[in-house]
Structure 1
Amino acid sequence: MGYILSIETTTSVCSVALAHNGLLLSLREVNSKNSHAEVLNGFIVDVLAESNVRLQDLNAIAVSEGPGSYTGLRIGVSTAKGLCYSLDIPLIAVRTLYSLAQHTKSMVMSHLNEKENILFCPMIDARRMEAYTAHFNFHLDEIRKVESEVIDQNTYHALLNAHSIVFSGDGCEKFKALYEKNPNAHFFPEILASAIGMIALAEEKLNTEDFVDLAYFEPFYFKSFLAGLPKVKGLR
């Protein structure tokens, strides 16, 4: 139990939440690509000031571990680590797709029927017709682990015959046209990765002292980051 600062920077959303004993005190977030380095520190200052909490009062820092944007993950994790080192407090890593599934469930469950038969399919945009995704049942048990999936009209055909699927996140918008006529497909592209979805799991991990090693923790990039490769005519 205590104060936890949660940082979410895996997508175009930069989100910071301050919670106490699992209850949200203050939130700052913006959906603006490539703005994380500019706004993150200011958001941290803002949520603390709004709640009249000092940095020294924090009991832990939680960070969204990925998968997602290489640059966003690097900014979020380096900031979280720096705070933990300077304050001598533990670091909590939260699975990004799990927190997005949790956030989605809290936002949409009152609008859906047959709740036990629902699957949550949070999606984070990867590239082209590809997304990072995992599947969670109604109780948020992970029933399919994180994959980088190329999605076409056949990918979810069989699964949609057996389940109602709730798609959310910035990765689902580009697939919406493939399945939106299926009555079992429910799309919520407006529900994005947010520090709000991290609060419950971060509190649970604080209470069980489920921390990561500050010295060795690295984000879950899923794919290797390739930068500065020259483009060769005729190759993609």
Structure 2
Amino acid sequence: MSFILNIETATKNCSVSVAKDGKTIACNELADEGYSHAEKLHVFIEEVIAKAGISVQDLAAIAVSQGPGSYTGLRIGVSAAKGLCYALNIPLIAVDTLQTLASQAEVIDGKIIPMLDARRMEVYSAIFNSDLTIDRAIKAEIIDENSFQEYHDKIYFVGDCADKCKAVLTKQNFVFLEDVKYPSANAMSKISYDKYQISDTVDVAYFEPYYLKDFMIAPPKKQ
């Protein structure tokens, strides 16, 4: 019996779950436009532990979203996960944010393209087959009317980019699953357990989130 705490903070969704042998038994999440991760994350962790009827000492591992995504969100999630792993002396599992998002599509055919907003018409994206095997690796790309034109089977788009991408991605085989907007810790449960079973873990001391692009700080405005 293995309990794993899953932490997903790569987007506006602050999401935490506890899973038993790969099945979610408690989940708490909030998608807040104001990015309330710093205030909510530790509260959510305490709440899901209590809902699951266990203590932190019962955890076999901690899984955290590795990115890509929000710089601040990823830092908050990874810092919390590392702190718990150090304190409990348990392994850390890194889960691909876009794989988590793609797994929420629940389709049986075609390709799944999870996309996360990277400002303007740029997105973080990857391409998965319906069985969640990778078809094309993660990259940052500019979306225009020529994007993904080489694909002729059904394409399912998930993520928080529907509003800005629907106007240019108009082929008949393109389907936007708008109810799948943010990655959830609920969907991490099976992925993290599969990794735990084969000891696919990361070094707690040296692990860093996958930001994909350098974090840019705008220069201060001139007075």
TM-score range normalised by the length of the shorter chain: over 0.9
Task: Tell me which residue corresponds to 1:82.
Answer: 83
Contact 2:144–2:169 under 8 Å retained in 1: no
Contact 2:147–2:169 under 8 Å retained in 1: no
Alpha-carbon distance in 1 for matches of 2:210, 2:126: 14
Task: Tell me which residue corresponds to 1:44.
Answer: 45
Q: Aligned with 2:104: secondary structure?
A: helix
Find the partner of 1:193 among 180, 183, 187.
183
Contact 1:164–1:185 under 8 Å retained in 2: yes
Task: Tell me which residue corresponds to 1:73.
Answer: 74
TM-score, normalised relative to structure 2: 0.94
TM-score, normalised relative to structure 1: 0.89
Give the number of aligned pairs: 220
Alpha-carbon distance in 1 for matches of 2:102, 2:129: 10
Structure 2 gaps of 5+ residues are: none
Alpha-carbon distance in 2 for matches of 1:212, 1:158: 36
Percent identity reads 47
Give the AA of the match of 2:133: D
Task: Tell me which residue corresponds to 1:112.
Answer: none
Q: Could you list the per-position Cα deviations for residues 50-79 of structure 1 after superposition, in whole angstroms to 9, with x for gaps in the alignment? A: 111101100000000000000000000000
1:122 equivalenced with 2:123 (yes/no): no
Alpha-carbon distance in 2 for matches of 1:174, 1:199: 30
Contact 2:114–2:126 under 8 Å retained in 1: yes
Contact 1:102–1:197 under 8 Å retained in 2: yes
Alpha-carbon distance in 2 for matches of 1:60, 1:88: 9
Task: Tell me which residue corresponds to 1:98.
Answer: 99
Alpha-carbon distance in 2 for matches of 1:203, 1:136: 20
Contact 2:126–2:137 under 8 Å retained in 1: yes
Q: Could you list the per-position Cα deviations for residues 65-96 of structure 1 after superposition, in whole angstroms to 9, with x for gaps in the alignment? A: 00000000000000000000011110000001
1:145 equivalenced with 2:106 (yes/no): no
CA pair 90-83 structure 1, distance change in 2 beyond 3 A: same
Give the AA of the match of 2:143: I
Task: Tell me which residue corresponds to 2:149.
Answer: 157
Runs (4+) of structure 1 moved beyond 6 Å?
A: none
C-alpha deviation, 1:176, in angstroms = 1.2
RMSD: 1.4
Alpha-carbon distance in 1 for matches of 2:221, 2:132: 42
Structure 1 gaps of 5+ residues are: 110-114
